Amino acid sequence: MGEEPKAAKPAKPARKLPGVVKQVIVVLVLVIFSAAGGMAIYKFMLAPKLEVEKEPEPEEFSDNIPTGAVAHDFEETQTAVVNNDPNAPNSVLIYTVSMICANEETKALVEKNKQWFTAMLSDLHRNRTKEELADPGVEKSILDEAREQANSLLRRLQPQPKPEIKVIQVLHLKFTVFTL
């Protein structure tokens, strides 16, 4: 009993880091969290929007004619040819067009609406000069445009457009310029 309880030793104060080191650690933590947040935002928000959607590859052009393809021939038609020289004799373009349809259903739709297709073909052949009609490129462009417009017309004529109803190709069975 003669011993007095020893006074509790004062606890050592926690070792304090110098102010500069503390600031460096805080900055490093902020940089790491900012970088992680930026990468997360990029990965989940920006990358999906920036990703280029792969367009379906267009069907490769094939010279093969589908087994169900059928032809629809239009009647022989004629139209006046524009004459640049007033002293030259008049000319007439006589042409016959055949549309290669993808199937019987397409052919039936073309036959049912023959007037629309005949008017479209007349518009494409009208108001051409003799020089234009002598150029094979112009003839090809008329046929290409006729196919595009025929397919557009077919889409408009259907209540619900079906992709299998289309004109595969348009051909000239006769394409002659006569000078009178």
Torsional sign, CA 160, 162, 165, 166 = positive
Q: Tell whether the model's pLDDT for residue 113 goes beyond 80.
A: yes
Q: What is the pLDDT of residue 2?
A: 55
CATH code given to domain 70-179: 3.30.479
38-92 tens-digit pLDDT: 899 888 888 887 776 655 555 555 567 778 899 999 999 999 998 888 888 888 9
Selection from 112, 115, 100, 111 nearest residue 167 by Cα: 100
CB 146 within 8 A of CB 95: no
Domain locations in the chain?
A: 18-52, 70-179
Tokens 């739709």, located at residue: 109
The pLDDT assigned to 124 comes to 92
| pLDDT at residue 44 in the model | 86
Query: Would you say residue 108 has pLDDT above 60?
Result: yes
